[in-house]
Structure 1
């Protein structure tokens, strides 16, 4: 899998699917989640309410169509809230593995992703980057290209450090 780092707004990068860092209630919110809902339009929220009335637990992923976004699908992952004590890296890894599983089910070859949990949920940037890159590279998938949209310089630097390391 090719991993690309970008500073672009995740809602503007064409892909088969956009990965959304969602709240477990799946009703929109702030950060990446809010941006995706605003750019994608109300159809995404309507679909989430209809298909997932009870939300989804931390570490899991669900999907919807992408509304007005430059993608076919949105894969909503619920990352662990580090600041609330959800500090098990396996939960964060599970988000990425489940996103790839759904991407394969939907025959998606390209993904755009945020640094799940590294924003308002407070996951340390270097650890978030290590978990994300390691999981994408070690998970068997048909996804060919993953573009991380990292608008915060600290996240871009952390992901760059991880990708610069020998594998």
Structure 2
């Protein structure tokens, strides 16, 4: 599986699936979540409402998949990252689970290309350097041939530089 990093807006990336750094309600919010819901349109919100009606909220570390609505991708995988309020193994493993569960859903849906945002690093205040390390290590260790390319899409220069440096190691 090929890994790369881009500095871009994830809602413009043309891959099979983009990952949304969602909140537990799955009903949109700020940051990446809000941008995906706004640009994707009402189809994504309606799909999320149906998921909530059957399973309830989405807990941290878990992931669900929906249509992509008006986005240039087939699907959106919504995953809920942990809120960083103190250092703890549980927060790190929850963040790793976001990537693992998204990749599992991708395989179940015959996905070849996937784009991840910087999960939990903005509003949820997960330390960016640690989050980048967890993201890259988790994806590298997943080791699945079906997924051909994983793109880490960074909105800001700081995250881009962190991912770029780690991917070169």
TM-score by length of 2: 0.93
How many corresponding residue pairs?
A: 165
Within the alignment, does 1:158 sit opposite 2:162 as a pair?
yes
Residue 37 of structure 2 is matched in structure 1 by 37
In structure 2, distance between residues paired with 1:51 and 1:70: 22
1:2 matched residue in structure 2: 2
Matched residue of 2:57: which SS?
coil
Measured on the aligned residues, the alpha-carbon RMSD in Å equals 1.4
Partner in structure 1 of residue 99 of structure 2: 96
Distance in 2 (alpha carbons) for counterparts of 1:120 and 1:72: 27
Aligned-residue offset at 1:83:
3.5
SS of residue in 2 equivalent to 1:129: helix
Aligned counterpart, 2:66: 64
Indicate the residue corresponding to 1:117 in structure 2.
Answer: 120
Cα offset, 1:52, TM superposition? 2.2
- SS of 1:147's equivalent? strand
Instruction: With the length of structure 1 as denominator, give the TM-score of the two structures.
Output: 0.94
Q: Are 2:81 and 1:79 equivalent residues in the alignment?
A: yes
CA-CA distance at 1:3 after TM superposition: 1.1
Residue aligned with 2:16, SS: strand
Checking the alignment, whether the CA contact within 8 Å between 2:19 and 2:117 is kept in structure 1 is yes
Q: What whole-Å deviation, never above 9, does each CA across 1:21-58 have from its counterpart, x for those lacking one?
A: 00011110000000000110011011110122322111
CA displacement at 1:78 relative to structure 2: 0.4
Runs of at least 5 residues in structure 1 that lack an aligned partner in the other structure: none
SS where residue 74 of structure 2 aligns?
Answer: strand
Is the CA contact 2:83–2:91 (under 8 Å) kept in the aligned structure 1? no
Question: After the TM superposition, which residues 14-33 of structure 1 pair with which residues of structure 2 at under 5 Å, given as runs?
Answer: 14-33=14-33
